[in-house]
Amino acid sequence: MSGVLQVVYPAAVSVSKDKTVSPSIPDLNGKTIGELWNWAFRGDETFPMIEEELKAMYPDIKFVGYKTFGNFHDPSYEAEMMAALPEQLKKNGIDAVIVGNGCCGTCSPAVARGVVLVERQGIPAVGILCKGFPPMAKQNAKSAGYPDARFVEYPNPIALDSADTVRKNIRDAVVPKIAAALTTPVKSTARERKRGPASRDIIFEGSNEEIQDYFYEMKWSDGLPIVPPTVEKIEKFLKFTDRDPEEVIGIMEPSMASCTVWKVAVNGVMAGCHPEYFPLLLAIAEIMATPEFSVKDSGATPGWEAMIMLNGPIRDQLKFNYKIGHQRPDCMPNVTVGRFYRLILRNIAGFQIGSTDMSTYGQMFRPVIPENDQVCEEIGFKTVAETQGFDKGENVVTIVSGRVCSDPMQTNGSTAEQHLDYLTDWAARMTEPYQTMRRYQDNNVLFLSPAVAKLLAGSGYDKESITKYILAHAKVTAEYFETNVSRFNHWQPYSLKEEVGMGNLDPEWYESDDPKRMVPLFWKEANIVVIVVGDPTRNRSQFFRSNYSMGKLTSQAVKLPDHWNEMLKEAQM
């Protein structure tokens, strides 16, 4: 049939096997209940209420509080806490666990992971989710092999409720469901999972228009037209690597699915990439599969997007735009590689809007951000790759989360400090004291136009000193700091004096009792990634805030195949 195309499967299935949840406990009297809290959404209020209500139902019940186990939400310490949890549960004689509170797009998956880990120890667990988030937690648990994981719903967005309303909802809606979840037998729906289509299996035949409709209906596309992934097109990509197509790059959460070299090629084809982009696509996939990068937090309610930065000769070899309008939908490599990242998130990591992706508003995927390496060389700046420990001239891709960006600010003046002070002002406008209170290891990004970079370099500033200047000069009043931390902690009192006294903050946060005194805004481990990019003739810069420790700044060398130059020349003829 003329015009008929045969396409392969672009997604991946979980490698986990379904398991039955731990048996329920008919009577909670005399049992020891552990509490896991992700340090979010008022658990310090709700857990004491839960204890009080359960004790009224089961007088001999005992509790081991969340402080015993620690915070399991933030990527910077979740792995360590989770590794210690099994022994902690055993040591404290835990019979069942309550996990809370899931009311956002990262804390809800954290609740699901907590429930799953406890279930793996043969202990029943139940998670608490706010309205709208149980489907997300259930899908995460299902992908991890527990389709019957226990979850209960708090009936509102808990951040909007008064203390009295929270107490009423805990008493009337949450605790009865917790008791029922832990004491009622669960009918298992665990089953043997299907293997899924093999790499070269044809999953659909039809015209280009029919393929577009089918992929959209199956939620394999992003709403834009895709290039049909035929075996012929995929094989053209595979010529640009020496790796086995079935090599597993890594397992991606929350789907718990294998990302293979083949799947990277499939989604690269769909995104509209050229075959010669393939080594770069593989490096991006390797970052996404790195646990420290925390791709599992991509469904966050702020809707962060990846900021993909590029250094090295490959920038010009693949004809990336790093000057005027590099973030516009215009230059094919910039745009299609950025789109590829989003398709891998959808089809391999398993992020679907409304279930595993709970971004409140969301953003469009970002085009790649290639650095102006020549200007860096000219003015003595290290490239992003070099600041990440790579050698000059290496082909390196670096990714970090981007939550929100500033105005493309125009800075003016003949002195470096005039420019730096305005950059600092914008960085301060976009940063929450809450980030410092939680001691997040942020990696924010600053687009610095070549013109401004040259002026700063002429006054003796390099990337490191630019970062230090902004972090040191971004200050707010103590009153503002305490008020805003309290606002993010549901108006619970917050005292810089007490925090310094407990050693949680350095002495400079409390040098007097004057509420108008200026205190640092950034936590000492915050970072700003300075990248020289954009129109060489303009004096505009832009500041991007990262999503806390999620989408952690991660770099990967781009591995080129043998005979790269000859292959590239042939492909671009």
What the chain holds in terms of domains, given with CATH numbers, is 32-183 (3.40.50)
Check whether 430 has a pLDDT greater than 50: yes
Radius of gyration of the chain (CA): 26
For 367, 446, 529, the CA distances from 543, given in Å and listed in that order, are 16, 5, 10
| 433/454 Cα distance (integer angstroms) | 32
Cis peptide, bond prior to residue 565, ω within 30 of zero: no
Check whether 391 has a pLDDT greater than 50: yes
Average pLDDT, the chain: 95
Asked whether the beta carbons of 285 and 98 are under 8 A apart, the reply is: no
| Residues present in the chain in total | 573
| 130/395 Cα distance (integer angstroms) | 44
Half-sphere exposure of 92 (CA within 13 A, CB side): 24
**Structure-token pair, residue 31:** 């049992």
Banded model confidence at residue 1, pLDDT cuts 50, 70, 90: very low
Question: Residue 316 belongs to what H/E stretch?
Answer: helix 314-317
Q: What is the pLDDT of residue 72?
A: 81
Q: What is the pLDDT of residue 438?
A: 79
Banded model confidence at residue 108, pLDDT cuts 50, 70, 90: very high
**Structure-token pair, residue 84:** 């210690």
Digit-coded pLDDT (tens) for 202-258: 999 999 999 999 999 999 999 999 999 999 999 999 999 999 999 999 999 999 999
> Dihedral of the CA atoms 35, 40, 41, 46 (nearest 10)?
20
Check whether 367 has a pLDDT greater than 50: yes
Residues linked to residue 99 through DSSP beta bridges, in sequence order: 36, 127
For 126, 272, 329, the CA distances from 228, given in Å and listed in that order, are 43, 9, 21
Q: What is the pLDDT of residue 2?
A: 58
Query: pTM to 2 decimals?
Result: 0.96
Classify 357 as helix, strand or coil: strand
